[in-house]
């Protein structure tokens, strides 16, 4: 069927709600890439087998990821009228018990992580019920209680391969409101007033970029979603696309309408096959419902989305390199201006936003700019998803209001160093960012504070280092990465990084001298100031920050002897 009005959407919503609240037990298995890797698919298949063989009245669905990666495989059980229960570290042997108990309206208590009585999907609310007094509440779990789920509002709750479930919790209602009742310029204004900044790293105001693109002369413009997520240690976007692909599509649809653009592209890295598969699936479902295509929601507006795949080049996160890559060229950046908003893909004005930026849009339209800008702090509104990884006890996807301190993220949510080791530093912003020492962990995570600390927000990878991590080795690791990923077009980046790497390797081998430290500083400064694009301009950051905060580790490696010479 085609959805052409709010009434149609209401009909589909009813169908979707029947799937979420089927009147009999519903079991969901967390099946993002990580859930699958730790055996989630085998659990899913086993449950399917049991249900089919016995003709049980149980719904089984694939869900996305609730973000507590350490506890996977995670299985959710919903008994009608009772709280949803999340089971953790479920194995194949547990499956029979989970099912037989579910049929009796019970859950295996020893596998229970927490219960959820109701859930705010922001676009809508679901009330599950009570019961299971012995199981702790979601808000009592240390990993969850300081989080604020706005982007990950549906992750782990709905089936990412079923558009009906997304509509059931209020999905596409924001798009419906925008396309059938809002002036495009008012939408841009709403996004501007929300204070939403680009979540890809640089933090450019999203609404302003939309306005610039809209005003740029030219026809047949593009909007693009950057899903190339090349930062090592970052997997927020993968999770967002695997767990809730329709929120991205809805965000793009609203943005396209606001800017009056009919063609959308998602540039996604080839290393994310499941995200590509789920997005393709979601796009086809949206087309079937007429939510992509011609005359969407009877508004006269046409919009469709194509997928373009990247092929493993970090530099393609840079906007002009990304555009070149989509055109089938090597991803080498060019001088800016002209910016993409003037001269983008195939020379046409192009609006480029990160996955997470788009995912915020339906929320802003649903709740309004004021509601949104109340989250976070002045200048950095809303929430941000981080992948909290490395040597931290609770690894996982963490979503917090911007302005939350590193202390809270690493020590309260993350529960400190893995295995009781002491935390030394955290790397933010990937290879373009820097290492912040533990003594500065009262730094709020927002665009400005991180820049002041010498690093940057980046896309949201937080890699925790502990007492065993050698910070000079970390600097060398990142320079090795950036040197390998340099496109080779400009000399400071191509040659400068190579020499930084040589010097760092020399220091690591115990053959460094005091002069090398000076050279590292000078060379870093030159590369930062003279490189053509963001890759080179930020690549020395890990060296600069480790020299600034962990100078003693460099000195130790240089040793007394060579200090004299």
Contact residues toward other proteins (CB under 8 A) are 33-34, 36-38, 69-70, 222, 229-235, 238, 265, 267, 270-272, 306-314, 325-331, 345-346, 387, 389-391, 395-396, 427, 430, 461, 463, 465, 469, 474, 477-478, 481, 484-485, 487
Burial of 62 (0-12, 13-18, 19+ CB in 10 A): buried
Query: 68 vs 128, which CB is nearer to other proteins?
Result: 68
Query: 484 vs 559, which CB is nearer to other proteins?
Result: 484
Other beta carbons within 10 angstroms of residue 536's beta carbon come to: 28
**Residues in the chain, how many?**
565
Query: 298 vs 480, which CB is nearer to other proteins?
Result: 480
Query: 210 vs 235, which CB is nearer to other proteins?
Result: 235
Query: Least distance to other proteins from the beta carbon of 501, Å?
Result: 12
Beta strands in 413-527 (DSSP E): 423-428, 434-437, 461-466
CB distance 547 to 329 below 8 Å:
no
Q: What are phi and psi of 354, to 5 degrees?
A: -70, 160
Other beta carbons within 10 angstroms of residue 317's beta carbon come to: 27
Burial of 229 (0-12, 13-18, 19+ CB in 10 A): buried
Alpha-carbon distance of 36 to 21, in angstroms, equals 25
With CA atoms as reference, report the closest residue to 339 among 325, 326, 352. 352
Which are the contacts of 93, defined by CB distance < 8 A and separation ≥ 6? none
Query: 1 vs 509, which CB is nearer to other proteins?
Result: 509
Query: Least distance to other proteins from the beta carbon of 255, Å?
Result: 18
Query: Least distance to other proteins from the beta carbon of 24, Å?
Result: 33
**Sign of the torsion angle spanned by Cα atoms 335, 204, 411, 89:** negative
Alpha-carbon distance of 350 to 323, in angstroms, equals 9
- Label residue 144 left, alpha or beta by phi (over 0 means left) and psi (-120 to 50 means alpha): alpha
Sole residue written with tokens 């991590």:
469
Query: 107 vs 279, which CB is nearer to other proteins?
Result: 279
Query: Least distance to other proteins from the beta carbon of 322, Å?
Result: 11
Query: Least distance to other proteins from the beta carbon of 448, Å?
Result: 24
Query: Least distance to other proteins from the beta carbon of 205, Å?
Result: 26
CB distance 305 to 311 below 8 Å:
no
DSSP states of 59-89 as a string?
EEEEE---S-GGG-S-EEEE-TTB-EEEE-S
Mind spelling out the 3-state secondary structure of 196-209? CECCCCCCCEHHHH
Query: 170 vs 496, which CB is nearer to other proteins?
Result: 496
Query: 26 vs 332, which CB is nearer to other proteins?
Result: 332
Query: 138 vs 235, which CB is nearer to other proteins?
Result: 235
Sole residue written with tokens 């589909």:
12
Query: Least distance to other proteins from the beta carbon of 534, Å?
Result: 17
- Cα dist. 231→98, 209, 241, 489 in Å? 38, 23, 16, 21
Query: 179 vs 465, which CB is nearer to other proteins?
Result: 465
């Amino acid at each position: 069927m085609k959805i052409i009005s709010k009434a149609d959407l209401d009909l589909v919503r009813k169908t979707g709600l029947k799937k979420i609240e089927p009147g009999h037990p519903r079991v969901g298995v967390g099946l993002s890439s990580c859930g699958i890797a730790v055996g989630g698919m085998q659990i899913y298949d086993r449950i399917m087998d049991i249900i089919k063989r016995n003709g049980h009245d149980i719904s089984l669905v694939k869900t996305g990821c609730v973000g507590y990666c350490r506890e996977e495989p995670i299985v959710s059980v919903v008994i009608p009228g009772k709280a949803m229960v999340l089971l953790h570290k479920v194995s194949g042997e547990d499956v029979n018990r989970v099912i037989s108990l579910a049929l009796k309206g019970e859950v295996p208590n020893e596998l229970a992580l927490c219960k959820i009585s109701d859930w705010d999907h922001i676009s809508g609310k679901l009330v599950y019920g009570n019961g299971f007094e012995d199981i702790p509440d979601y808000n009592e779990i240390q990993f969850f209680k300081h989080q604020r789920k706005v982007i990950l509002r549906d992750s782990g709750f709905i089936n990412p391969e079923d558009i009906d479930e997304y509509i059931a919790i209020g999905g596409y209602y924001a798009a419906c409101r925008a396309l059938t009742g809002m002036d495009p310029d008012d939408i841009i204004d709403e996004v501007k007033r929300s204070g939403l900044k680009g979540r890809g790293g640089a933090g450019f105001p999203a609404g302003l970029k939309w306005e610039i693109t809209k005003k740029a002369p030219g026809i047949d413009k593009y909007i693009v979603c950057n899903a190339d997520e090349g930062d090592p240690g970052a997997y927020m976007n993968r999770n967002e696309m695997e767990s809730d692909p329709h929120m991205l599509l809805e965000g793009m649809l609203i943005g396209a309408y606001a800017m009056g653009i009919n063609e959308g592209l998602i540039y996604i890295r080839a290393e994310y096959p499941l995200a590509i598969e789920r997005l393709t699936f979601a796009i086809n479902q949206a087309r079937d419902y007429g939510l992509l295509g011609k005359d969407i929601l009877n508004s006269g507006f046409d919009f469709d989305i194509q997928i373009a795949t990247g092929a493993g080049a970090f530099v393609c996160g840079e906007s002009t390199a990304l555009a070149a890559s989509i055109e089938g060229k090597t991803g080498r950046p060019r001088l800016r201006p002209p910016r993409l908003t003037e001269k983008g893909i195939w020379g046409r004005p192009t609006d480029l936003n990160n996955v997470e930026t788009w995912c915020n849009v339906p929320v802003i339209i649903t709740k309004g700019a004021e509601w949104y800008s109340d989250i976070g702090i002045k200048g950095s509104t809303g929430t941000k998803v981080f992948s909290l990884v490395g040597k931290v006890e609770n690894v996982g996807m963490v979503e917090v209001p911007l302005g939350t301190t590193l202390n809270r993220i690493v020590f309260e949510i993350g529960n400190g160093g893995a295995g009781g080791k002491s935390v030394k530093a955290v790397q933010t912003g990937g290879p373009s960012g820097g290492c912040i020492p533990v003594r500065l962990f009262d730094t709020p995570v927002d665009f400005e504070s991180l820049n002041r600390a010498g690093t940057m927000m980046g896309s949201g990878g937080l890699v925790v280092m502990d007492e065993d991590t050698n910070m000079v080795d970390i600097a060398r690791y990142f320079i090795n990465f950036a040197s390998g990923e340099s496109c080779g077009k400009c000399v400071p980046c191509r040659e400068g990084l190579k020499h930084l790497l040589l010097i760092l390797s020399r220091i690591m081998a115990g053959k460094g001298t005091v002069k090398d430290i000076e050279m590292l500083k000078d060379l870093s400064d030159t590369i930062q100031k003279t490189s053509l694009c963001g890759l080179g301009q930020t690549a020395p950051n890990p060296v600069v920050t480790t020299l600034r905060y962990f100078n003693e580790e460099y000195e130790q490696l240089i040793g007394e002897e060579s200090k004299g010479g």
